[in-house]
Amino acid sequence: MTAEAGPGVDRPACVLVGPPGAGKTTVGGLIADALRVPFLDTDALIERSAGKPIPEIFFDEGEDHFRVLERAAVAEALAGHRGVLALGGGAVLADDTRELLMEHLVVYLSVELADAAKRVGLGASRPLLAVNPRATMRHLLDARRPLYEEVADVVVPTDGIDPEQVAETVLLALSDPEVRG
Ligand SMILES: Nc1ncnc2c1ncn2[C@@H]1O[C@H](COP(=O)(O)OP(=O)(O)O)[C@@H](O)[C@H]1O
Ligand SMILES: O=C(O)C1=C[C@@H](OP(=O)(O)O)[C@@H](O)[C@H](O)C1
Ligand SMILES: [Mg+2]
């Protein structure tokens, strides 16, 4: 596939959503490499503009402030980024973000509790999972599943599948004229 892949030249080639541990950051990079387009992760955008890592933003300013930064970063990236875009797992919580996503080709990387827990290690790098990680992850998966489904054009299950295979499945879906609209 070439740099023209995706729904149009004036927007991201595709936007990856899904819970923490779904592989959005990892698979997004692989897809961008394959398409030879730039890769952007809104978490990286937020860290760059805040000048500190996400756990520190949560610790210093709280989740609500992080969500404000996230909404702005997602809107900026959806308007300006021309490659593959990965969102943070909680970006779809915002009504206005879900509204914006309606205009984009959105791929939902799904993952169930066992693989998600294994992959994120339930450690400190994701501040939301710092307390009672397994129960929090279960609740988060259940609560957000309908939101991911609401915005998705394509759902790609990732359980038991390595990132390269997930990327191949996404690339195949992106080459389908029906998916690209
Ligand atoms: N399909 C997969 N199979 C196994 N491990 C994976 C898979 N996708 C991602 N990982 C690993 O899981 C961890 C979280 O992946 P990441 O891309 O950061 O997920 P997300 O951005 O969705 O939270 C990383 O260590 C990554 O290498
Ligand atoms: O699920 C969430 O609310 C979050 C997911 C993280 O991104 P990943 O989904 O890439 O881990 C990051 O944005 C932040 O820690 C909050
Ligand atoms: Mg990520």
78 located within any domain: yes
* CA–CA distance, 39 with 32 (Å, rounded to integer): 5
Residue 90 assigned as binding residue: no
Ligand 1 pocket test target in 15, 25, 26 with most atoms within 8 Å of CB: 26
Measuring from each residue's beta carbon to the nearest atom of ligand 1, which residues come in under 6 Å? 18, 20-26, 89, 119-120, 158, 161-163, 166
Ligand located closest to 21 CA: 1
Find out whether 106 and 15 touch, Cβ atoms under 8 Å. yes
Q: Note whether 114 and 48 are within 8 A (CB).
A: no
Residue 181 is assigned to a ligand binding site: no
CATH number for the domain that contains residue 124? 3.40.50.300
Task: Give the burial string for 156-175 (b: 16+ CB within 10 Å, else e).
Answer: bebeebebeebbbbbbebbe
Give the span between the Cα atoms of 77 and 73, in whole angstroms: 6
Residue 108 located in a structural domain: yes
Q: Which residue has the tokens 């799904």?
A: 110
pLDDT of res. 6: 46
User: CA-CA distance, 40 to 87, in Å (whole number)?
Assistant: 9
Q: Does a structural domain hold residue 7?
A: no
pLDDT at position 169: 97
Tens digits of residue pLDDT in 45-86: 999 999 999 999 999 999 999 999 999 999 999 999 999 999
Residue 5 inside a domain? The answer is: no
Q: Is 52 annotated as a binding residue?
A: no
- Give one DSSP letter per residue of 68-89, joined into a string: HHHHHHHHHHHHH--SEEE--T
Query: What domain range includes position 52?
Result: 14-168
Q: List per-block mean pLDDT (blocks of 10 residues) for the chain, which spans 181 residues.
A: 46 93 98 96 97 95 97 96 96 98 97 92 73 88 98 98 98 87 70
